[in-house]
Amino acid sequence: MHTTSLSRYAWLSIAAAVATIVLKWAAYHVTGSVGLLSDALESFVNLAGALMALAMLSIAARPADEDHPFGHGKAEYFSAGVEGALILIAAASIAFAAVQRLLHPRPIEALGLGLGISLLASLINLGVALVLLQAARVHRSATLQANAHHLLTDVWTSVGVVVGVGAVVFTGWQRLDPLVALAVAANIVFTGSRIVWSSVSGLMDAALPPGEIATVRALLQPYVDQGIEYHALRTRQSGARRFVSMHVLVPPEWTVQRGHELLERLEGDIRRALPPVTVFTHLEPIGDDAAMNDLDLHREEPP
């Protein structure tokens, strides 16, 4: 699926964020619970994250050009990073509100109605999160994955808030409400930090996951069994697209045509196993001392 068509998932997330903002803000107003307030504030972050996702998916969909010959896929990492940062800001806001309520406790009102509204909002978020998570796995979208995990965090946040606020009724301890909000803030910090780290890893051209590298090596093994060698295998990912490069060594008596045909087969195997992927290969003769210099990550001429 082209990245532009992924924007429909961003619109779905935007719609869910608007709906949950209305519902959770209503739940806060009827109860006065700072725990439910923390839930409502996170929904505003959901909306900001969904809008950012829509913008970055549009940029990532642009084709490669002279200024960006490898495409615009890394725009998705900016979306994930910003969403993670917004989550951390929301956590700080929730913690501030919770501390204020700890210092100045206030009774919770209309609890049944408030919790019912909050649970409805949570069901909306859960449904949308599962749809986004499935789409992220299928289309390898960092943006949709971050958005899905954010919404799932919102769901768990809501469950924690409902349990905590309900416990206030049974215990009569008003300070339990802001303590639950602080626990929610701590959980949000963990999720936000994980999303930011994942975004930074992508922007830093981290290698493909070990399982995918193992897949590439398994595809190369039949060629190795036939006497072909390879080295300088390097991988990275940009948005949904993978990049794999390597040097392939063949017997020195081979013709250029024969070597070229081998590389076409080899590259085709990788493209079929790990789509979408761009494969770069460099042909070298076995036994050439200069070829072994390519084992280093950076080949530099001596001064």
pLDDT at 302: 47
Output the average pLDDT for the chain. Answer: 80
Query: Looking at residues 147-164, what average pLDDT do you find?
Result: 75
Whole-number Å distance between alpha carbons of 93 and 42: 9
Amino acid 60: pLDDT: 75
> b/e per residue, 106-126, with b = 16+ CB within 10 A?
eebeebeebbebbeebbebbb
| Count of C-beta atoms within a 10 Å radius of residue 214 | 11
Conformational region of residue 227, where left means phi above 0, alpha means psi within -120 to 50, and beta covers everything else = left
Whole-model pTM over 0.85: no
243 three-class SS: strand
| Domains of the chain, earliest start first | 3-203 (1.20.1510.10), 210-295 (3.30.70.1350)
- CA terminus-to-terminus distance, the chain: 49
What's the confidence (pLDDT) of residue 293? Answer: 67
Alpha-helical runs (H) found in 104-207: 111-139, 142-171, 176-203
Phi and psi at residue 246, to the nearest 5°: -165, 165
- As a whole number, mean pLDDT of residues 250-263 equals 95
Give the 3-state secondary structure percentages of the chain, helix then strand then coil, rounded to 5.
70, 10, 20
Query: Tokens at residue 242, please?
Result: 């993978």
Beta strands in 42-142 (DSSP E): none
d(CA 250, CA 286) in angstroms, rounded, equals: 5
Q: Has residue 1 got a pLDDT over 70?
A: no
Does the pLDDT of residue 37 top 60, yes or no?
yes
Residue-wise pLDDT tens digits, 221-249: 999 999 999 998 999 887 677 899 999 99
Summarize the confidence of residues 281-292 as an average pLDDT.
84
Q: How high is the pLDDT of residue 303?
A: 46
The highest-confidence range among 69-78, 157-166, 202-211, by mean pLDDT, is 202-211
Among the listed residues 1, 6, 21, 129, the one whose alpha carbon sits nearest the alpha carbon of residue 59:
6
pLDDT at 2: 44
With a cut of 60, say whether residue 297 has pLDDT above it.
no
pLDDT at residue 247, rounded to an integer: 93
pLDDT digits (tens, 9 = 90+) for 20-32: 888 888 888 887 7
Instruction: Judge whether 6 and 135 are in contact, CB under 8 Å.
Output: yes
Both tokens of residue 129?
Answer: 């999160």
Average pLDDT of the residues in 242-263: 94
Give the whole-number percent of the chain exceeding pLDDT 90. 26
